[in-house]
Each structure stands twice: as structure tokens, then as C-alpha cells.
Structure 1
Amino acid sequence: MSKLKNIPYSILELASVGKDISVKKTFENSLDLAQIAEHLGYKRFWLAEHHNMVSIASSATAVLIGHIASGTQKIRVGSGGIMLPNHSPLIVAEQFGTLGSIYPNRIDLGLGRAPGTDQTTAHAIRSDRNQSVHKFPEEVSEIQRYFSLDNRSSNVRATVAEGVEVPIFILGSSTDSAHLAAKNGLPYVFASHFAPTQLFEALNIYYNEFQPSKYLKEPYTIAGINVIAAETDTEAERLSTSMIRMMLGVMTNNLDYMQPPTEMTAELRELSNHPAFQKMMQFAFVGSKEKVQSQTEDFINKTGVDEVIVASHIYDHEARVNSYKIFSEIMKGETVENVS
């Protein structure tokens, strides 16, 4: 247990929309989870940008970050991430500079280059997106410049961002962004919760190529895991059927609302054991407190990451809150009182 006690732990929230659950209720649940997470010792509550998906409501990511930050007091709130090629760097700087001024020392800006949607929708978001993808390093530097006090003499300014403390994180699901994060001396976040294949190679690149900067003196890494924890392995397995169906929808491009859990059927078990599913969900830890603890310890020991960020695809809000409570107990090594 002591191996985990000094490791910060955070939440990656997609604002997943369940069947027969309204978007409004989904947002209320997200805020409730953030408030409870704050009491449970979670360091960050990040929202992920996705578009044109009925099951994910975090599309207006900056707006939702403001909603969560306004209803909490100390937990860091940010983007995991903003998909920069979808946006103008100037607008991103203005949005997050504004958030950083309203909620000082609490806002994080995670930047990625994936579309967070299908190509048709990506084109609808920003028609020159494909060009922007190749300019990702330059656009990250552009945002950094907008936040700098040195930009005051520039013809183009994000005046609300200048001098505001909003740390930038580089997100990646392959090795490409590891080079950029290392070169720029920025913290690096890997999406191992759904794209684990190149995790270890990307971490090695980042550690080996890291150059200290005014933002970061030593490498800092965060990696994503999926966690579904419950009182028993059987109950956690039952809750995981919602995640299995959701991931099947992702793999087959047949997206739907998150479905209520069912008993584990032979068909669902066969699907969860399929090589493609196993490859994507290599770091999905499903089970009792003891089982998830063992898997988490193994993950941190093997990766050496400085922080873990957890996604939990669970239909029922109370069951999801309970899963996060159990995980906080694992990370703190103590019993957590009921704070809901």
C-alpha cells in the first residue's frame, strides 16, 4: 500500500450520457462527482473533448470546466484535453486565460492533436484542421506566447491570458507527442486508458529526451487507466458490462448511449476476451478493492509514472462514485468516510 500513498491520483471525465439520462442530469452528476472527488483527495478533474457522440457530453470542454470549477473549491480542473487542431490558439488562450483568472492556480490546459471525433465532423469544426495537425508544435508555442507577459508588445494579444498561471500538459496516444513534450520541457500525459500499445516506448522517449525548462525542471508523467471497483469481483464485473458495450460501439463505429449493466453473459465475456478488446483495454482494472489495488501497484511499478488519471465508465452514478471512493482508499491506504 505504501507504494501508492505518495502518488497523486486524478479523474478523467467524459460526462458520459447514459440511456434515459438527460444531458442536464449528466452535467449535474459530473459536478457531484467533482465535489466528492475533492473530499477524497483527487488532485485533478479533467474533461475530455469529444464531438458528435451521443454518449459523451463534454464537447464544449472549456464551458464545462468553468461549471465544475465554480462548484468546487480546491481541486484542479482542466482539459484532458483540448484537441488543439480543432481550435484557434488565440481563442484557446483567451478561454483558459479567463478561466485561470476566475479560478487562480486551479486550471490546467492539456493539449492533444487527435480530432476527438470522426473526420467529417472534424472538417465541420475546422476546415483547415489537417494543416493544423502538422503545425501542432508551433501552435503549442503560440499559446505559450499568448500567456507570456513578453507578448504585450505583439500586434496580436490574448490580454486576459498574459501572466496568468495555467500549466500546459502535452497529451499523446502514440510516440509523436512524447518528443514534443520532452523538447519543450512540459509534463506528458499518455492515453493508456484506451491506446496502451506505445505507452512504454513513449515514456522512454520522453524521459530520455527531456530538456528542463522554465515550466518544468524534471520530467513529469501522467498515465490513464480505467477502473471499475466494487465490493466484490462479481459486482465489478457486472458493472463492467456497460463499458464492454460502449467499447464495442467505439470499435464498430456504432455509438450509442451508455447502457445499464447486465449480468455477464457468455457473449459479453467472449467479447471482452477478444484480442482487439484486450489490446485496447489492457489497463482496465475491474474488481474488488484488493484486485484493483494489486493491478494499480503493478501498473505504477512497471511504468514509473508520477501520477495516474482514472476513467470509470459506469452507468449508475452512485456506483461510479463508490468506485472512485474505493480507488481513493487504495491510493491513500485508509478507510474513507462517506462524504456524499
Structure 2
Amino acid sequence: MSLKNKIPFSILELAGVVEGATPADTFRNSLDLAQKAESFGYNRFWLAEHHNMKSIASSATSVLIGHIAGGTNRIRVGSGGIMLPNHSPLIVAEQFGTLGSLYPGRIDLGLGRAPGTDQVTAHAIRSDRMQAVHKFPEEIARIQQFFSKDNSSAQVRATVAEGVEMPVYILGSSTDSAYLAAKKGLPYSFASHFAPTHLFEALEIYYNNFEPSTYLEKPYTIACINVIAADTDEEAEILSTSLIRMIFGVMTGNIDYIQKPTLMTPQLKELSENPAFERMLKYAFVGSKETVRNKTIDFLEKTGANELMVASHIYDHEDRVKSYRIFSEIMRELKRETA
């Protein structure tokens, strides 16, 4: 087993809303998960940005980051990510400069260019969004400038951000993002948990084209996976029925709350084996500790990722916490075995 001695592992939290719950319930569960993740040894707790989806409550990302960071002590908290074309770079710098001052050395700024919603909602968020999409590299540079001490003499300043430590990560699900992260010399996080098609091509582009920068000397990659871990393969399969229904809703445009799991029916099994499903959930590791461990080792050996980020769509909060605990045990055991 040729793994790196230490592979940090982190959480990507979408703040999924289960049937019968409120966003307030979801936020309490997210904080509880973050607190437990901190004790389990997770490196980061990133919040996504989505809009106009009743099943996902992570829409005001920077607000949630403050909520999570304020309720934890050590774990890094950040955006996975801020969808920059939805926002003004100045406002992003002010928000994250404030967070970075409140929680020094603990905040990450992950930036993506997707809308995180449908096109009608994206237009409602920012009517000139497509112009911002084409200016994505320039707007990242503007944010970096706002955080620079050298910006103190500029006409437009984010004074709360100047001099604040704020690591910037490029998020992506395509080869375009790989080229950009490499050119800017920034760490790169790939969304292989839902868009695995270009994972290896994107990683190869990033590694081969990486240019060292003042921010990063050598390439650093984060690869995202889905994990549903339980005591047995059979129990994990039952829990995964909530994920199957959720993905079916996304693919058919009928997004609903996360549903209570059921036994795996022939219909659900057929859905899970549909080629479109299999492509999207290629890196969904469902099963017992041993099953998830074997799939994780294989993924790490094939990708060479520096860090793993885990998403988990499970109906019951305690089942979800347990899944993350099992995964943390796997990663700590791998660390001991490769030390």
C-alpha cells in the first residue's frame, strides 16, 4: 500500500434538509456534526453554496461559516465554495476578512464559478453574472489584492481584510478550473463527489502545469467523495436509498427534502445501476468499515490526492455522525499503518 504518510480528511457540508425538519434544525445538526468532526480529527469543515433548493440550506455560506467557527475551537472552516460570479469581490473580501479576524488561522476561502442553482435563479441573484463568469480569474486576483497589505493606498479598500491570512482554493469540476488553479499557483479541489468524469484529466493538467507562487510552492489537491458507512454493507445500502432518491430528484428537476431510508427495492436498485447514476456516483463509497476502507485506499492510490473531502447525504443525524466517525477511524488507521 503506497499511500502518503498523512492524508488529511475533511467534510463538505451542504446542510441538507430532511423531510419534516426546518432549516433551523439543519443548522443545529451542522454545528453538532462540526463539533464531533473536530473530536474525530477532521481537518476542515467546508460549507457549500446553493440557492432555491429546499433540500439544501447552505445558501448564506459566509453566515454559516461564522456559525460553525464560533461553535468550534480548532477545525478549519471555509467555503466549498463561494460561487464568485454570484458576488462582488469587494463584499467577499469584507466578509471573509471579518471571519479571518474573528477566527484567526482557521478560515478558508474556496472559490468556484458555477451558479449553484438553476439559470433563472442565477439571473435573479446577479443579472450580469455571465460577465462575471468570464472575468473569474480577474475577480480572484481582485480578492487577493483586497487581502494584501499593499492595498492600503488603493482608492477602493476592504480594510477589514488587509493583512488577514486567507488561503484561497480553486474549486472545479472541469479541466478549465485545473488550468486556472495551476496558473495561479493555488490549491485545487475537484468535485468528484458529483462530477467525476474529468477527475484524472483535471488532476494531470493541474500537476503538469502548476506554477509555484507566493501562496503555494508545490501542487496541493483535494478530491471529494461521498461516503455512507455503517456497521454492515446491508445497513449502509438501506441508508443509501435516501441518496438515490435525492439524486433522482436532481436529475429529473424534482428536488425534494431528503427522504427517510427504506429497504432497497428492485426499482431503486435499477435506478442506482442506471448509467447516468453510476457516472454521477462513481465515487460514492457505501458499505461497512472494511468496504469503505478498501474503496478509499483504491481511490487514494489512483488519484494521489493530498487530502480527501467527504460529503454524506444521510437522513438521520445520528446515522450521519456515525458514518463520519467510521470514516475517521479508517483514515487514522491508514495513517498508523503507513507511518
**What is the TM-score of this pair, normalised by structure 2?**
0.97
Query: What does 1:317-328 align with in structure 2 at a 5 Å threshold?
Result: 317-328=317-328
Separation (CA, whole Å) in 1 of partners of 2:36 and 2:326: 12
Separation (CA, whole Å) in 2 of partners of 1:21 and 1:323: 20
Number of equivalenced pairs? 334
1:333 partner SS: helix
1:32 corresponds to 2:32? yes
1:276 corresponds to 2:276? yes
Over residues 277-310 of structure 1, what are the superposed CA-to-partner deviations in whole Å (9 max), with x where a residue is unaligned?
0000000000000000000000000000000000
Separation (CA, whole Å) in 1 of partners of 2:13 and 2:281: 17
Separation (CA, whole Å) in 2 of partners of 1:35 and 1:265: 35
Over residues 40-78 of structure 1, what are the superposed CA-to-partner deviations in whole Å (9 max), with x where a residue is unaligned?
000000000000000000000000000000000000000
What residue is the counterpart of 2:77 in the other structure? 77
Structure 1 vs Structure 2 CA RMSD: 1.0
% same residue: 73
Separation (CA, whole Å) in 1 of partners of 2:230 and 2:166: 35
Over residues 233-275 of structure 1, what are the superposed CA-to-partner deviations in whole Å (9 max), with x where a residue is unaligned?
0000000000000000111111000000000000000000000
What residue is the counterpart of 2:190 in the other structure? 190
Separation (CA, whole Å) in 1 of partners of 2:152 and 2:178: 31
Separation (CA, whole Å) in 1 of partners of 2:5 and 2:246: 32
Query: What does 1:2-41 align with in structure 2 at a 5 Å threshold?
Result: 3=3, 6-41=6-41
* CA deviation after TM superposition for structure 1 residue 2, in Å: 8.3
The residue identity in structure 1 corresponding to 2:187 is P
**What is the TM-score of this pair, normalised by structure 1?**
0.97
What residue is the counterpart of 2:337 in the other structure? none
Separation (CA, whole Å) in 2 of partners of 1:70 and 1:278: 38
Report if the CA contact (8 A) 1:48-1:58 is conserved.
yes
What residue is the counterpart of 1:53 in the other structure? 53
What residue is the counterpart of 1:338 in the other structure? none
Over residues 92-126 of structure 1, what are the superposed CA-to-partner deviations in whole Å (9 max), with x where a residue is unaligned?
00000000000000000000000000000000000
1:11 partner SS: strand
Distance 1:5 1:333, change over 3 A: farther
Over residues 2-54 of structure 1, what are the superposed CA-to-partner deviations in whole Å (9 max), with x where a residue is unaligned?
84761000000000000001111100000000000000000000000000000
What residue is the counterpart of 1:178 in the other structure? 178
The residue identity in structure 2 corresponding to 1:139 is E
What residue is the counterpart of 1:332 in the other structure? 332
Report if the CA contact (8 A) 1:4-1:297 is conserved.
no
Which stretches of structure 1, 4 residues or more, deviate above 3 A after TM superposition? 1-5
2:10 partner SS: strand
Separation (CA, whole Å) in 2 of partners of 1:222 and 1:104: 22
What residue is the counterpart of 1:305 in the other structure? 305
The residue identity in structure 2 corresponding to 1:142 is R
Separation (CA, whole Å) in 1 of partners of 2:63 and 2:284: 29
Report if the CA contact (8 A) 1:111-1:171 is conserved.
yes
Separation (CA, whole Å) in 2 of partners of 1:21 and 1:241: 18
Unpaired segments ≥5 residues, structure 1: 335-340
The residue identity in structure 2 corresponding to 1:67 is H
The residue identity in structure 1 corresponding to 2:311 is A
Separation (CA, whole Å) in 2 of partners of 1:213 and 1:141: 13
Separation (CA, whole Å) in 2 of partners of 1:252 and 1:199: 24
Separation (CA, whole Å) in 1 of partners of 2:140 and 2:305: 23
What residue is the counterpart of 1:129 in the other structure? 129
Report if the CA contact (8 A) 1:4-1:332 is conserved.
no
What residue is the counterpart of 2:117 in the other structure? 117
1:241 corresponds to 2:241? yes
2:224 partner SS: strand
2:217 partner SS: coil
Report if the CA contact (8 A) 2:2-2:301 is conserved.
no
Separation (CA, whole Å) in 2 of partners of 1:23 and 1:122: 21
